[in-house]
Amino acid sequence: MSTDNPVSQYAVRLADDALILGHRLSEWCSRGPFLEEDLALSNVALDYIGRARMFYGYAAELSGDDRSEDDFAFLRDCRDFGNLLIHELPRGDFAFTMARQYLVDVHSVAFMTDLQSSTDATLAAIAGKAVKESNYHLRRSRDWMLRLGGGTEESHRRLQHAVDELWGFTPEMFEMDELEKSLAGQGVAVDVSRLQPAWDTEVRATLAAANMSIPEEDWQVSGGRQGKHTEWLGHLLSDLQFMQRAYPGLEW
Amino acid sequence: MTDNLSDQQLEQRETEFQQRIDAEEKIEPKDWMPEKYRQNLIRQMSQHAHSEVIGMQPEGNWITRAPTLHRKAILLAKVQDEGGHGLYLYSAAETLGISREELIASLHSGSAKYASIFNYPTLSWADIGAIGWLVDGAAICNQVSLQRTSYGPYSRGMVRICKEESFHQRQGYHIMMTLARGSAEQKEMAQDALNRFWWPSLMMFGPHDADSVHSAQSMKWKIKRQSNDELRQKFVDQSVKQAEVIELELPDPDLKWNEERGHYDFGEIDWEEFKRSMTGGGPCSRQRLAHNIQAHDDGAWVREAMRAYESKKREAKDQAVA
Ligand SMILES: [Fe+2]
Ligand SMILES: [Fe+2]
């Protein structure tokens, strides 16, 4: 179910990022370390689900057929999902969830800030809403990096482990393929390759403040944008898409 | 609080307290209150708070599987609201001089209860509709009445909570309506959910007035404003009409309009099942508690880290000052 319009394809990627991470965050519901944090995680999940709906909605509009946001979310298989791999990794423990969130938040703030000046007015408007949310998410996730890094021996150990496990999934956030290069050339898409130096500086500063050591950069995995996913995504989709697959074509 | 009072003074205080209640004055945290009033409130409010929190599980069970993104967002927001209600209620209970840790510990030890309805499983998407419609509907009947409860913080909490509950009920009813008007399969799914959740919803109002241990005193202190049976009747009356509109059938052959009473008569609740479900024998009783304990235990290192970090920060600050 690929779609020809490049802007639509781009919007679907961004929607996939938001939906898949929102799904992972929503898995925390009723499982948070305390009630306030449980609610805060659901809140962030809700922001992402909302973001996914806006991007899918726009993609559907551009595609010009009668597809809806739900067709994009529920009726495509792994190979057609274009989210970055870091979003689909299982939620892990609280340190893993927060470390991922932090690494993604630093990226999102810069990304959405840039996308706000996209020549595509709709993408720019969605980014305007998203950047406010991501700024708030980042304040929270950065605080948790400091707390867990500077808390107890156990929290420090868990956070270091999480950062080590995530590190090789971060370079993918700055890769550009032909679609994005061409759209960036027209001022529609964000040139993510340019965001890397600032991301690196900021993340390293936070890791230092949280007494974390910087992981060895000797591995890296990517392929999400081309639909080459981890095995985790298929299981996520079988959960996410269960209803639409078991009872196709109905109103809910 | 009552340590230094003579019997006579105590009696005097209690009389004055009852006069304030009778005059519809709200009791505030710093006011004198009989120890039994305090205990009774802690029991009821903590049971209420635990119900909100445990209730996140059966509905949370469908967040990742909601059939559309729109339904997913609504359900996630709804479950989040319920957690928020739990939070208000824990805070309101804390004004009575008990900590949240103590409240949670008595939930985990089994000494504090929560609504037995949450010990039933959510097996299909329609169950999310049935819970919103019936369980939130029943909760509203209760909570509207509790807006006039005599304890100030509880009463104000209820006012705030009620505003959100009516949205919860509407979204649940809307799910049921959509299913009932959908395919044959969907309609069957809705009817099945109604069949399973109807009786447990009636049980939410508690035992008959005559069999309710705490009822008489709670009514006198105006902790409760309407009896279990009164509220249950109100709920039945409203649900009959709502079921008719969406052409689903309430699973009770004895349900019949009683002209004389001006209410619907309905069949007898299976009180043995109610007792079983309240005392750990509901289909999901053990699972619900284990889930909550697991989350609490898994979060222990996080809470510890937070405390350690705060105290390190304070120390550093103190040193900087010294
Ligand atoms: Fe509630
Ligand atoms: Fe509710």
Residue A212 DSSP label = P
The amino acid occupying position B151 is Y
Residue indicated by tokens 């109002």: B205
The DSSP H or E segment spanning B172 is helix B152-180
- Judge contact between B118 and B54, C-beta under 8 A: yes
- Judge contact between A176 and A185, C-beta under 8 A: no
- Judge contact between A192 and A176, C-beta under 8 A: yes
Picking from A74, A94, A252, the nearest residue to B302 by CB comes out as A94
Picking from A29, A73, A250, the nearest residue to B63 by CB comes out as A29
Q: Note the pLDDT tens digit of each residue in B169-189.
A: 999 999 999 999 999 999 999
pLDDT band at A9 (very low <50, low <70, confident <90, very high): very high
Instruction: Tell me what pLDDT residue B3 has.
Output: 63
Q: Which residues of B touch A251 (CB under 8 A)?
A: 178, 182
pLDDT band at A224 (very low <50, low <70, confident <90, very high): very high
Contact assignment for B303 to A239 by CB distance below 8 Å: no
At residue B258, φ and ψ (nearest 5 deg) are -110, 105
The DSSP H or E segment spanning B170 is helix B152-180
Write the CA distances from B156 to B49, B116, B149, B183, integer angstroms. Answer: 14, 25, 9, 43
Instruction: Tell me what pLDDT residue B248 has.
Output: 98
- On the question of pLDDT at B78 being above 60, the answer is yes
How distant is the alpha carbon of residue B317 from its chain centre? 43
For residue B49, the CA-to-ligand 2 centroid distance in Å is 12
pLDDT band at A4 (very low <50, low <70, confident <90, very high): confident
Q: Note the pLDDT tens digit of each residue in A142-167.
A: 999 999 999 999 999 999 999 999 99
A158 touches chain B (CB under 8 A): yes
CA A209 – CA A146 distance, rounded (Å):
7
Q: Which ligand is nearest to the CA of B88?
A: 1
CA B42 – CA B48 distance, rounded (Å):
10
A232 touches chain B (CB under 8 A): no
Contact assignment for A38 to B76 by CB distance below 8 Å: no
Report the complex ipTM: 0.97
The amino acid occupying position A34 is F
DSSP string, A116-173: TT-SSHHHHHHHHHHHHHHHHHHHHHHHHHHHHHTS-HHHHHHHHHHHHHHHTTSGGG
- On the question of pLDDT at A3 being above 60, the answer is no
Mean pLDDT of chain A: 97
CB pairs under 8 A between A and B: 134
pLDDT band at B306 (very low <50, low <70, confident <90, very high): very high
Contact assignment for A32 to B295 by CB distance below 8 Å: yes
Residue indicated by tokens 């936070």: A206
A147 touches chain B (CB under 8 A): yes
Residue indicated by tokens 């241990």: B213
Q: What are the structure tokens assigned to A51, written together?
A: 């973001």
Best residue in B65, B188, B301 to probe A by mutation, most A CBs within 10 Å? Answer: B301
Picking from A30, A32, A250, the nearest residue to B183 by CB comes out as A250
Q: Which residues of B touch A93 (CB under 8 A)?
A: 298
- Judge contact between A45 and B76, C-beta under 8 A: yes
Closest chain A CA to residue B171: A252
Q: Which ligand is nearest to the CA of B59?
A: 2
Which protein residues have a CB closer than 5 Å to ligand 1 (ion)?
B 52, 82, 85
CA B214 – CA B242 distance, rounded (Å):
32
Give chain B's radius of gyration (CA, Å).
22
Residue B118 DSSP label = G
Q: What are the structure tokens assigned to A229, written together?
A: 């996913």
Residues in chain A: 252
Report how far apart the first and last C-alpha atoms of chain A are (Å, whole number).
Answer: 23
How deeply is A113 buried, as exposed, middle or buried, from its count of CB atoms within 10 A (0-12, 13-18, 19+)?
middle
Residue indicated by tokens 């309009």: B257
Contact assignment for A152 to B304 by CB distance below 8 Å: yes
* Residues 152-191 (B) with a CB less than 8 A from some CB of A: 175, 178-179, 182-183, 185-186
Give chain A's radius of gyration (CA, Å).
18
Instruction: Tell me what pLDDT residue B213 has.
Output: 78
CA A190 – CA B177 distance, rounded (Å):
44
For residue B71, the CA-to-ligand 1 centroid distance in Å is 18
Residue A174 DSSP label = G
A51 touches chain B (CB under 8 A): no
Sketch the domain layout of chain A as residue ranges.
Answer: 6-246
- Among B124, B45, B119, which Cα is nearest to B88's? B45
A123 CA: distance to closest CA in chain B (Å):
20
Q: What is the pTM of this model?
A: 0.96
pLDDT band at A2 (very low <50, low <70, confident <90, very high): low
Q: Which ligand is nearest to the CA of B115?
A: 1
B303 CA: distance to closest CA in chain A (Å):
7
Q: What is the dihedral of CA A38, B166, B150, B43, to 10 degrees?
A: -40
How distant is the alpha carbon of residue B115 from its chain centre? 6
Write the CA distances from B219 to A169, A237, B224, integer angstroms. Answer: 61, 52, 5
Bridge partner list, B151: B27
Instruction: Tell me what pLDDT residue B322 has.
Output: 74
The mean pLDDT value for A92-118 works out to 98
Tell me, letter by letter, the H, E, C secondary structure of B141-164: HHHHHHCCCCEHHHHHHHHHHHHH
- On the question of pLDDT at B1 being above 60, the answer is no
Q: Which residues of A touch B125 (CB under 8 A)?
A: 243, 252
At residue B264, φ and ψ (nearest 5 deg) are -85, 135
B66 touches chain A (CB under 8 A): yes
Contact assignment for B67 to A247 by CB distance below 8 Å: yes
Instruction: Tell me what pLDDT residue B163 has.
Output: 87
pLDDT band at A216 (very low <50, low <70, confident <90, very high): confident
Residue A193 DSSP label = G
Q: Which residues lie below 8 Å from residue A147, measured CB to CB, with a gap of 6+?
A: A155, B305, B306, B309
Picking from A31, A53, A151, the nearest residue to B306 by CB comes out as A151
SS3 A28: coil
* Residues 26-55 (B) with a CB less than 8 A from some CB of A: 53
Q: Which residues lie below 8 Å from residue A193, measured CB to CB, with a gap of 6+?
A: A174, A175, A176
- On the question of pLDDT at A110 being above 90, the answer is yes
Contact assignment for B76 to A56 by CB distance below 8 Å: no
Mean pLDDT of chain B: 95
The Cα angle at residue B154 between residues A28 and B49, in degrees rounded to 5: 30
- Judge contact between B198 and B252, C-beta under 8 A: yes
Bridge partner list, B264: B257
The amino acid occupying position A169 is F
Q: Note the pLDDT tens digit of each residue in B221-233.
A: 999 999 999 999 9
Q: Which residues of B touch A32 (CB under 8 A)?
A: 295, 299
For residue A215, the CA-to-ligand 2 centroid distance in Å is 45
The amino acid occupying position B67 is P
CATH topology for the A6-246 domain: Ferritin (1.20.1260)
User: In chain B, what percentage of residues exceed pLDDT 90?
Assistant: 89
The mean pLDDT value for A44-57 works out to 98
- On the question of pLDDT at A186 being above 90, the answer is yes
B314 touches chain A (CB under 8 A): no
- On the question of pLDDT at A129 being above 60, the answer is yes
Contact assignment for A34 to B302 by CB distance below 8 Å: yes
Instruction: Tell me what pLDDT residue B5 has.
Output: 84
CA B126 – CA B294 distance, rounded (Å):
28
